[in-house]
């Protein structure tokens, strides 16, 4: 193995001190143009790559505080996963001087979200990780971060923007297409299928719209069977009685209904609202490996779950920030996590956050 090239090697080759090379590397100026170019050339020639361990060690007096603004995990089991991913990542990077402060907001309250945001910003974080559920209110946060010049990483909900936003999560459209494919496997010609939004403010929820678009596009595509698609929204998913009534209505209305695609992690609520008899023939595709869903997957009452990798969204979100601000690495603007297809036979591999051993980005 060839010995790694050090700053010192570059310096000696050029005939300057290591401090000068360092200034070039960090673009800290104070170096004449001639010398700078020469040093840059020699660095390329010799293939210099910084020693991360040494860099980290030298850096380690620096402290990095990250604000994680997430929906309250106590109001919705889905949000436990990003939280745990963030916690795990925080643990991994603690040694490098990064710390994470959580700020939780109630899942359906845009106004409280704004209050939470201002609390987070008051603490003067160096970076922000956020699940920007509310399009309007998120803009306020984006503006504030742009003004303070601190990087911001979005998870779960993708919002395009002029600023330097990073998104980590799923491709919602594609997940809708995939759901179509999976339902299609289980259905036969003439069946009806229904896309169900068990959510609030669906019209303004970008990711739900995208899923619907993808789902419909699949069945308009070439490979589909002749399946009729319905769509429905039910905002009162927290009231079992009402949900049951609603579900039975749908079934009577569409007797050919054989398949459901629930666009978020609440497939279990739909299953609970459907009669056991009906369930025997029904095919259900949902999202996310949360406990109530897993139970029904195991019982054969949910056929497929698409894993949104919520845990990884949190984990990679933090790692991305640390990579940028501590290791000063280039990071990608958009990281689409895989759309894992989960059945009971492979579910166990996706439960522990996929990363059995702590992983550190270098």
Judged by the rule CB under 8 A, the positions of this chain that interact with its own copies are 1, 4, 49, 51-54, 56-57, 60, 63, 92, 94-96, 99, 174, 177-178, 181-182, 185-186, 218, 223, 300, 303, 319-320, 323, 329, 331-332, 335-346, 349-350, 354, 356-362
CB 186 → its own copies: shortest distance, Å?
A: 6
Q: Is 357 exposed, middle or buried (0-12, 13-18, 19+ CB in 10 A)?
A: exposed
Tell me which of DNA, its own copies, none is bound by residue 331, counting a contact when its beta carbon lies within the kind-specific cut-off of 5 to 8 angstroms. its own copies
Q: Specify the 3-state DSSP secondary structure of 255.
A: coil
Comparing CB distances to DNA, the nearer of 23 and 181 is: 23
Among residues 256, 308, 262, 306, which one has the least CA distance to residue 284?
Answer: 262
Among residues 337, 348, 332, 324, which one has the least CA distance to residue 82?
Answer: 337
Tell me which of its own copies, DNA, none is bound by residue 148, counting a contact when its beta carbon lies within the kind-specific cut-off of 5 to 8 angstroms. none
Q: Locate 99 and state its tokens.
A: 């710390």
Q: Locate 146 and state its tokens.
A: 């742009």
Q: If you count them, how many residues does the chain have?
A: 362
Sign of the dihedral through C-alpha 236, 240, 241, 246: positive
Comparing CB distances to its own copies, the nearer of 126 and 137 is: 126
Comparing CB distances to its own copies, the nearer of 197 and 312 is: 312
153 secondary structure, DSSP code:
E
Comparing CB distances to its own copies, the nearer of 181 and 269 is: 181
d(CA 273, CA 254): 16
d(CA 100, CA 294): 30
Comparing CB distances to DNA, the nearer of 8 and 295 is: 8
Tell me which of DNA, its own copies, none is bound by residue 264, counting a contact when its beta carbon lies within the kind-specific cut-off of 5 to 8 angstroms. none
- The strand pairing partners of 54, in sequence order, are none
Angle, alpha carbons 183-154-316 (nearest 5°): 80
Tell me which of DNA, its own copies, none is bound by residue 61, counting a contact when its beta carbon lies within the kind-specific cut-off of 5 to 8 angstroms. DNA
CB 312 → its own copies: shortest distance, Å?
A: 10
Comparing CB distances to DNA, the nearer of 57 and 291 is: 57
Tell me which of its own copies, DNA, none is bound by residue 17, counting a contact when its beta carbon lies within the kind-specific cut-off of 5 to 8 angstroms. DNA
CB 360 → its own copies: shortest distance, Å?
A: 4
Comparing CB distances to DNA, the nearer of 28 and 44 is: 28
- Give, in order, the Cα–Cα distances in Å from 43 to each of 28, 31, 55, 189, 290: 16, 15, 17, 64, 50
- Give, in order, the Cα–Cα distances in Å from 260 to each of 90, 179, 326: 38, 10, 45
CB 345 → its own copies: shortest distance, Å?
A: 4
- The strand pairing partners of 307, in sequence order, are 340
Interacting residues toward DNA by CB under 7 A: 4, 6-8, 15-20, 22-23, 25-26, 28-33, 35-36, 48, 50-51, 54-55, 57-62
Tell me which of its own copies, DNA, none is bound by residue 80, counting a contact when its beta carbon lies within the kind-specific cut-off of 5 to 8 angstroms. none
Tell me which of its own copies, DNA, none is bound by residue 29, counting a contact when its beta carbon lies within the kind-specific cut-off of 5 to 8 angstroms. DNA
């Amino acid at each position: 193995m060839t010995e790694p090239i050090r700053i010192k090697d570059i310096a000696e080759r050029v005939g300057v001190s290591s401090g000068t090379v360092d200034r070039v590397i960090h673009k800290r100026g104070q170096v004449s143009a001639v010398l700078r170019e020469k040093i840059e050339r020699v660095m390329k020639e010799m293939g210099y790559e910084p020693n991360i361990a040494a860099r980290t060690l030298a850096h380690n007096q620096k402290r990095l505080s990250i604000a994680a603004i997430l929906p309250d995990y106590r109001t919705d089991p889905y949000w436990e996963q990003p939280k745990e991913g963030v916690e795990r990542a925080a643990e991994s990077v603690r040694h490098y001087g990064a710390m994470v402060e959580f700020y939780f907001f109630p899942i359906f309250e845009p106004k409280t979200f704004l209050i939470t945001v201002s609390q987070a910003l008051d603490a003067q974080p160096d970076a922000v990780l956020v699940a920007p559920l509310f399009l309007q209110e998120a803009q306020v946060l984006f503006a504030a971060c742009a003004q303070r010049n601190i990087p911001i990483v979005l998870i779960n909900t993708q919002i395009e923007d002029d600023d330097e936003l990073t998104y980590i999560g799923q491709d919602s459209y594609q997940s809708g297409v995939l759901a179509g494919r999976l339902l299609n496997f289980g259905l036969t010609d003439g069946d009806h299928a229904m896309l169900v939004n068990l959510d609030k403010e669906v019209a303004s929820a970008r990711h739900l719209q995208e899923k619907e678009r993808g789902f419909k596009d699949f069945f308009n595509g070439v490979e589909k069977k002749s399946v009729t698609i319905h769509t429905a929204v039910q905002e009162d998913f927290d009231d079992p009685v009402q949900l049951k009534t609603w579900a039975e209505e749908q079934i009577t209305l569409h007797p050919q209904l054989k398949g459901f695609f629930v666009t978020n992690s609440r497939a279990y609520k739909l299953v609970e609202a459907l009669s056991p008899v009906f369930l025997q023939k029904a095919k259900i595709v949902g999202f996310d490996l949360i406990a109530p869903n897993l139970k029904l997957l195991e019982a054969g009452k949910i056929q497929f779950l698409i894993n949104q990798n919520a845990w990884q969204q949190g984990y990679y979100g933090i790692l991305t920030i640390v990579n940028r601000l501590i290791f000063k690495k280039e990071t990608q603007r958009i990281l689409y996590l895989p759309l894992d297809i989960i059945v009971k036979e492979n579910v166990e591999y996706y439960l522990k956050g996929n990363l059995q051993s702590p992983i550190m980005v270098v």
